[in-house]
Structure 1
Amino acid sequence: MEPRPPLTRRRALAGAGALAAAGALSPLAAGCSAPYDTVASDKTRLRFWHLYGGGDGVNMTAMLDAFAAGHRGIDLQATVLEWGAPYYTKLGMAGAGGRAPEIAAMHLARVPGFAPGKLLDPFDLDLLAELGVKPEDFTKEMWERGQFGGKQYAIPLDTHPMVLYYQTELCEKAGLLDGDGRLKPIESTGDFTAALRAVKKVTGGPALITETLGPDVVGPWRLFATFYAQSGGRVLSADGKRIELDDAKALKVLDYLARLGEEGLMLRRADYPGSIGQFSGGKFGFLLNGEWEVSTFKTAKMKFSMTRTPGLFGPPKTFADCHAFVLPHQEGRGGAPDRAAHTLAAWMLKHSVDWAKGGHVPAYTPVLDDPAYVKLKPQSEYRGVIDDVVLDDPAWFAGSASRMWIELGGVFSGVLTGTRSPRGAVAEARKRLRQLLDTPNPLPGAES
């Protein structure tokens, strides 16, 4: 997930099967191929499709401008498409026709749905190595999520996990900060409940806010997925073909979240924009959300900080996805345009300190020790989470803006708002997962 206007984000989370509608929603509605612009004969055309809006869009534009300025022999043509299902449908259709752009952005957990080898082409690892990018520059788990059949189909740019934001003044009054002004360790449900109660004594109201409802709501799924992963449970099998939801572990997480609402420690009803706005208003001590809102709160000049989501049910794992670079399928891919695509990916990785300003943790690990990144506050405070992020199990219907996020987000929303029992939510989640597993991948050229 990533910084973008919340309402646009919610509108974009439509069903991935709406193939025909996607063309109408896209700036490239005239066709499924990348636009062909006139290119000077002495330059190599490089078309890059991405879905970055909001603060991410500003950062990406600045980085692309810098790349273009330093690579005069490349005619970089960047096109922004609508975030979510419209983007992925358009990209899949372009790849199926072999008329795609040279390079594109993709969420790493969405790669399995793009039938690597059919809708995506593999990267040339020798060329990447020549450009200074090697597999050992990434965490093993993140790198391998881009592999299929022994080939590399995605190069991670970042990871964007769930984090815990906290209001420093409220937490200080509640006695929750250490001598350096950082949040004291929270290592169990008991610790977290106690912290919320301490803030409630200061404010007189709920201490925690998060997204719990709204059209195409996904926050409840991301919250559940984080704590469920800490318990050691998984939703699907390693190949994404079977349900492995552990009812006991799921109920333990959902029961706890339900109790937070019942006790008045967490606000039960808040849509995405409302959760951001109300936390900005200073009445809540804590916000659980993706790290991409850091720019929002810094712009508002709030007194806040961030830390990794605490381990309430086990090790402090957290749910995430990753932005990545992919090579959409082209007939006859190769030559100077392909080299330009690899060059862009390598350059962006090496300059991802600028990308990290929006809150994302760089996937290219040499950047994590770059003094310029370490100085970014509070962005670098949670960089250690890169070793503990958990992505969706591989399935065509999983990943950012996916059917699973929307389906299960709606199911778990009822638990957070108090309109559905935890046990009923687990049963309904199983039903929805079965329906998704029985539904063929709607992207052209992909297999179910």
Structure 2
Amino acid sequence: MKKRSARRILAAAVAVGVGLALSACGSSGGAGGEVAGGDYSGPKVTINFWNGWTGGAAPVLVPRLVDKFNTEHKNIVVKDVPMEWADLAKKMPLAVKAGKGPDVAVAHGDDVATYAAQGLLLKSESIVKSLGYSADDFPEGLMKAGSYQDAQYGIPWSVTPLGLYVNKDVLKAASLDPETVPTDKASYMDALAKLKAAGVQGEWVDGYVFTGTFEFESLLWQFGGDLFDKNVSKATFNSDAGVQALTHMVDLVKQGYSPANVAQDGNINALIAGKTAFNWNGVWQTTNTAFDKLQWTATAVPQIGTEKAVWSSSTHWMFMNNKGQDKNKTAAAATFVKWMNDNSADWPQTGELPASNSVRDDPALVQKYPNLKPFLDELPYAHYETSAPGITNATATVTVAVNEALTGKKSPKEALDDAVAKANTLLKQNADTYGE
């Protein structure tokens, strides 16, 4: 997935007691006991930081953050090791078990539990406590996304909610008020009908993760459904809520509000080209330079269902359980994580929102990045990735269902039922693999 994240100035000297308790499943022999810290005052160490920011985020991550941290901390050198997210996931297990993995890394919310179940992570409750963090320091539910079997393994770093992007010139050309953006089903469908009458297909829906799956999941939650049951042992996205959500998307095609068979990224490209008015897309598009030539705005996704809800991804810091892990490096990594979270006010330049409430709630953030306001306003009702070992293989079936329904291969109900059956098989396999 496309990524972004970072923070602001609040350097606090906090005692860092780092508990190096080993993760539950198949420890690779990391060090045990407590690590005393403070603003790390031990011997000089070099810590390896693995992350997936290889593109536009890199110039923000390294010179503005990592290099600044290194300048301010004479006894810590952070070595930035960027790679593709998929490569990071492939390399991590063998590297950690061989004692050659990173000291600290960032992962998406739906990967943390998998790493924890593989024994690759150190439990971070004592780190969280010593840094002064609690669940209330981040958006509701986000801290839990970094947990596994009632233990904490991750500290939130960034969030990336979906929003509604609007080409104001297209609305004007169709004689719609560009300053009045639809907020609910009635106003949204009315706008689509008026756009259609003017010869414009107002929202292009696609059957890909970007962004069809994210739109479907937002609608699923809006209609009161969920992807899985509470224990993540059974897929539930073929509920009545799921059928309503996917039917809404399919009907956009059937009623001519969207073309059929939209290519991946075809919808955002159509918005930029002035061929459509609305696009459900992530906060990362606020950094899209192609928007510079447009009259555009972004707002919260409209409430199509019975309640407000929106999809959001997240990223989390993790402390790695390398074979023979140096406790000083882990303590230094904790200092780095706290500093990065405190200094993340300019991370929105990468298209991600800081997870830290204190940074995000500073009025200066919106003053500097006014396009972020609707995304910030959505966070109280955002839903984050499901946290469970191996979950990404099960959630991939959602995209298959969305694609099959939008391309007319199956009805919404049939597509969702078939996907749920496959997801349940995968969930059972995951339980067998990870001992759930």
TM-score, structure 2 as length reference: 0.82
1:121-140 to structure 2, matched below 5 A, reads 121-123=122-124, 125=126, 131=131, 133-140=133-140
**Alpha carbons 1:363, 1:386 under 8 Å: kept:** no
In the alignment, residue 196 of structure 1 is paired with which amino acid?
Answer: L
Q: 1:7 matched to which residue of 2?
A: none
1:388 is matched with 381
- Per mean C-alpha deviation after superposition, the further-off stretch among 434-443 and 337-346 is 434-443
Q: How does 1:28-427 map to 2 (within 5 A)?
A: 43-61=44-62, 62-84=64-86, 86-116=87-117, 118-123=119-124, 125=126, 131=131, 133-174=133-174, 177=177, 181=179, 183-188=180-185, 190-202=186-198, 204-213=199-208, 217=209, 219-297=211-289, 300-333=292-325, 335-375=327-367, 376-398=369-391, 402-427=392-417
Equivalent of 1:433 in 415, 423, 429: 423
- Counterparts of 1:115 and 1:3, CA distance in 2: 22
**Superimposed CA distance per residue, residues 373-409 of structure 1 (whole angstroms, 9 cap, x where no aligned partner):** 11202122320211111123333333xxx32343321
Structure 1 gaps of 5+ residues are 5-40
Matches of 2:403 and 2:266, distance apart in 1: 15
1:304-355 CA distance string (max 9 Å, x none): 1111222211222111220111112123545331122111211221122211
Q: CA shift at 1:118, angstroms?
A: 1.8
Looking at structure 2, the residues matched to 441 and 267 of structure 1 have their Cα atoms a distance apart, in angstroms, of 40
Structure 1 residue 439 displacement after superposition: 2.3
* Aligned-residue identity in percent: 22
Q: Distance in 1 between matches of 2:432 and 2:72?
A: 40
SS in 1 for 2:80: strand
Q: CA deviation at 1:129?
A: 5.6
User: Given that residues 46 and 340 in structure 1 are in contact (C-alpha distance below 8 angstroms), is that contact kept between their aligned partners in structure 2?
Assistant: yes
What is the CA RMSD across the aligned residues, in angstroms?
A: 2.7
- CA deviation vs aligned residue, 1:154-179 (integer Å, no higher than 9, x gap): 1111211221111122234556557x
- Structure 2 counterpart of 1:137, one-letter code: D
Paired AA for residue 120 in structure 1: L
Deviates more, 1:116-125 or 1:343-352: 116-125
In structure 2, do the counterparts of structure 1 residues 382 and 130 end up closer, same or farther at CA, with 3 Å as the change threshold? same
Q: What is the CA-CA distance between 1:236 and the residue it aligns to?
A: 1.4
What residue number does 1:25 align with? none
- The structural deviation recorded for 1:233 is 1.0
SS of 2:187's equivalent? helix
Is the 8 Å Cα contact of residues 132 and 346 (structure 1) preserved in structure 2?
Answer: no
Matched to 1:208, the amino acid is E
User: Using the alignment, how far apart are the partners of 2:135 and 2:245 within structure 1?
Assistant: 35
Gapped runs of 5+ residues in structure 2? 5-41
The CA distance in 1 between the partners of 2:314 and 2:52, in whole Å, is 13
Contact 1:2 1:290 in 2 (8 A): no
The alpha carbon displacement at 1:103 in A equals: 0.3
3-state DSSP class of the match of 2:166?
strand
Distance in 2 (CA, whole Å) between partners of 1:238 and 1:364 is: 26
Q: Distance in 2 between matches of 1:286 and 1:118?
A: 44
Residues 168 and 305, structure 1, Cα contact 8 Å, conserved in 2:
yes
> Structure 1's 340 and 201: CA in aligned 2 closer, same or farther, altered over 3 A?
farther
Measured against aligned partners, the alpha-carbon deviations of 1:96-153 in whole angstroms (never above 9, x if no partner) come to 445421100101122222235822112254x556556444311341112223355321
Secondary structure at the aligned position of 1:136 is classed as helix
